[in-house]
């Protein structure tokens, strides 16, 4: 089959089957835990119709990374009516994009600097957010430094935002186990700051993230296949 051959249509049954496999991966390292682990279906980079497939498969939350792409999917979201999943913005966000997204985003999951806190508080008072932590120290990666996290959480709270928890991403181009120290450090911060959500882990490092204490994993390719 050539690389230009059309890919088979993504069906609800296929996604449900992949979700069952994902649940098995999570259960393999979380059976002793009482706190449930939620899955955000990462629909970024996929056609808008994948959001409908995710909703039909039972997902209550989808994740998007790019403002313009998300805005192009608004009609699909609105058409779902009461079945519309909540939208989590999980990518690096420019402050000047907040105004465009206030009517679409339900959870701002990549808040990593005071200027973004101020803009969200101005445009969406009381909004629910996650503070993103750069737990790997990589240059150019989104997230505030581990040592700056408590201060940013406090600043967001003082601005009237609902800080639900922290989010982090494992190291780029490294094996899954390399993410463990950063994941464990973020989990400790979640506990120290009295937060609820610890969002970490993607398709490739779910087991490490869950073992370290993740309460939410963000999964795209393991559910929907490779992006075009």
Average the pLDDT over 97-113 and give the result: 97
Structure-block tokens of residue 211: 């073992």
User: Virtual CA dihedral for 201, 207, 212, 213, nearest 10 degrees?
Assistant: 70
Which helix or strand (DSSP H or E) is residue 149 part of?
Answer: helix 149-158
pLDDT at 26 over 60: yes
**CA 117 – CA 183 distance, rounded (Å):** 23
Average pLDDT, the chain: 92
Q: Which one is predicted more confidently, 60 or 32?
A: 60
pLDDT digits (tens, 9 = 90+) for 108-164: 999 999 999 999 999 999 999 999 999 998 888 889 999 999 999 999 999 999 999
For tokens 């581990």, the residue is 146
Query: In the chain, what are the domains?
Result: 12-224 (3.20.20.10)
pLDDT digits (tens, 9 = 90+) for 12-21: 999 999 999 9
**CA 123 – CA 195 distance, rounded (Å):** 24
Residues 53-59: contacts with CB under 8 Å, at least 24 apart: 53/10, 53/11, 53/12, 53/15, 53/224, 54/15, 54/85, 54/223, 54/224, 55/80, 55/83, 55/84, 55/85, 56/12, 56/83, 57/12, 57/15, 57/16, 57/19, 58/16, 58/19, 59/85
């Amino acid at each position: 089959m050539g690389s230009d051959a059309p890919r088979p249509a993504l069906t609800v049954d296929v996604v449900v089957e992949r979700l069952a496999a994902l649940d098995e991966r999570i259960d393999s390292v979380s059976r002793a835990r009482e706190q449930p682990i939620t899955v955000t279906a990462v629909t970024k980079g996929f056609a808008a119709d994948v959001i409908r497939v995710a909703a039909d498969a039972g997902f209550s939350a989808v994740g998007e990374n790019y403002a313009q792409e998300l805005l192009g999917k608004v009609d699909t979201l609105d058409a779902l009516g009461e079945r519309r999943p909540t939208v989590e913005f999980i990518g690096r966000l420019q402050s000047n994009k907040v105004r465009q997204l206030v009517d679409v985003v339900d959870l701002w999951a990549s808040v990593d600097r005071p200027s973004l806190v101020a803009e969200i508080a101005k445009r969406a008072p009381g909004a629910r957010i996650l503070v993103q932590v750069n737990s790997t120290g990589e240059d150019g990666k989104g997230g505030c430094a581990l040592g700056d996290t408590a201060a940013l959480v406090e600043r967001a709270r003082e601005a009237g935002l609902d800080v639900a928890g922290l989010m982090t991403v494992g190291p780029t181009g490294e094996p899954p186990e390399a993410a463990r120290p950063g994941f464990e450090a973020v989990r400790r911060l979640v506990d120290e700051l009295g937060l609820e959500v610890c969002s970490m882990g993607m398709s490739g490092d779910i087991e490490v993230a869950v073992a370290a204490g993740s309460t939410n994993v963000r999964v795209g390719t393991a559910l929907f296949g490779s992006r075009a």
